[in-house]
């Protein structure tokens, strides 16, 4: 299915501006009185279409491959290149969340997932100056973004289709998984990352929704979740750094979720329980 709705550049810019602050911790955050969970098929389709257009119009595979070659050659990117790389990756992440949220499979297509994941791993590596890992990820990323694989990735985005009923079921159940993590005395860094992904998906949805349907409730949800996302992201960056430096086993060692993060997650969970 091709994108049904064409949005203005202003709308695309508004969404991307929201994405760029989806991990910024505002000085004051507040949850709305209730958790919005009822959305029309038209709303959801427009949200998916906007995510598709942001990626299709906003991601240049030529630019990505140019940056990838710089990563291979220099095992790093300069400050301007890092910003461009960050922006491309942000659009990949947002479309990745769209695949998981709106489509029947609730999965990213394999090639899309591999590209997005490798972009993140390469970024972690060059940020932490792990040259061999930077080079390795750069080489693989260069291979899977070459034609015709890049065209397959583009077709996956174009053909993403909404399943309204599965969206509603997945959206509600996703949030209900949070208490399972909080009930554990400790989690692995990988489990913590899985928990953060739940929050990131919710942020991405409310960012898209508030762009198309401005509403105080959607805005409050977006900013509250962005604060949690930012705190979890900062902590996860520390865990990744320790893992890259061989100071921690990412999939086996256990860590406690910081209390300030737990407190906000419990407030969000309470909103879910309150709206049963």
Helix axes 61-74, 79-102, angle to 10 degrees: 130
- 97 pLDDT higher than 90: yes
- Which residue did the predictor score with more confidence, 248 or 33? 248
What global pTM score does this model have? Answer: 0.95
Closest CA to 84 of 114, 65, 63: 63
Closest CA to 211 of 5, 43, 32: 43
User: How sure is the predictor about 2, in pLDDT bands with cuts at 50, 70 and 90?
Assistant: very low
Under DSSP, is residue 255 helix (H, G, I), strand (E, B) or coil?
A: strand
Element (H, E) at 207: helix 189-212
Lowest mean pLDDT among 34-43, 95-104, 265-274: 265-274
Q: Where are the domains of the chain?
A: 38-158, 177-274
103, 160 in Cβ contact below 8 A? yes
What whole-number distance in Å separates Cα of residue 276 and Cα of residue 274? 6
User: How sure is the predictor about 3, in pLDDT bands with cuts at 50, 70 and 90?
Assistant: very low
The two tokens of residue 264 are: 């906000």
Residues 6+ apart with CB under 8 A from 82: none
User: How sure is the predictor about 1, in pLDDT bands with cuts at 50, 70 and 90?
Assistant: very low
Looking at residue 276, its pLDDT comes to 58
What whole-number distance in Å separates Cα of residue 230 and Cα of residue 209? 20
% the chain with pLDDT above 70: 97
Question: For residue 187, what is the DSSP state?
Answer: B
pLDDT in tens, 198-253: 999 999 999 999 999 999 999 999 999 999 999 999 999 999 999 999 999 999 99
- 17 pLDDT higher than 60: yes
Looking at residue 176, its pLDDT comes to 86
10 Å Cβ neighbour count for 20? 13
User: How sure is the predictor about 27, in pLDDT bands with cuts at 50, 70 and 90?
Assistant: confident
| Dihedral (CA of 114, 18, 56, 75) sign | negative
| Dihedral (CA of 61, 62, 63, 67) sign | positive
Closest CA to 207 of 59, 5, 62, 23: 23
Looking at residue 275, its pLDDT comes to 66
Measured in degrees and rounded to the nearest 5, phi and psi for residue 99 equal -55, -45
Under DSSP, is residue 218 helix (H, G, I), strand (E, B) or coil?
A: helix
pLDDT in tens, 173-201: 888 899 999 999 899 999 999 999 999 99
- Which residue did the predictor score with more confidence, 123 or 27? 123
Looking at residue 133, its pLDDT comes to 96
């Amino acid at each position: 299915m091709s994108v049904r709705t064409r949005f203005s550049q202003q709308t695309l810019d508004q969404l991307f501006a929201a994405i760029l602050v989806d991990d910024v911790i505002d000085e004051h955050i507040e949850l709305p009185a209730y958790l919005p969970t009822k959305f029309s098929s038209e709303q959801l389709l427009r949200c998916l279409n906007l995510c598709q257009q942001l990626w299709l119009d906003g991601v240049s595979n030529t630019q990505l491959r140019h940056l990838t070659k710089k990563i291979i050659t220099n095992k790093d990117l300069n400050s301007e290149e890092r910003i461009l790389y960050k922006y491309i990756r942000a659009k990949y992440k947002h479309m990745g969340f769209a695949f998981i949220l709106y489509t029947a499979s609730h999965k990213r297509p394999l090639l899309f997932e591999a590209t997005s994941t490798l972009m993140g791993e390469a970024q972690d590596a060059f940020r932490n100056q792990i040259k061999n890992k930077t080079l390795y990820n750069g080489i693989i990323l260069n291979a899977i973004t070459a034609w015709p694989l890049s065209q397959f990735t583009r077709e996956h985005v174009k053909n993403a289709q909404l399943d309204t009923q599965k969206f509603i079921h997945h959206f509600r159940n996703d949030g209900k998984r949070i208490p399972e993590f909080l009930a554990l005395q400790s989690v692995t860094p990988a489990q913590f990352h899985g928990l953060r992904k739940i929050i990131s998906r919710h942020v991405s949805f409310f960012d898209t929704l508030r762009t198309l349907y401005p509403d105080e409730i959607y805005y409050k949800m977006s900013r509250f979740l962005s604060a949690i996302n930012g705190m979890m992201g900062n902590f996860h960056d520390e865990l990744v750094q320790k893992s890259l430096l061989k100071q921690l086993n990412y999939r086996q060692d256990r860590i406690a979720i910081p209390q300030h993060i737990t407190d906000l997650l419990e407030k969000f969970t309470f909103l879910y329980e309150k709206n049963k």
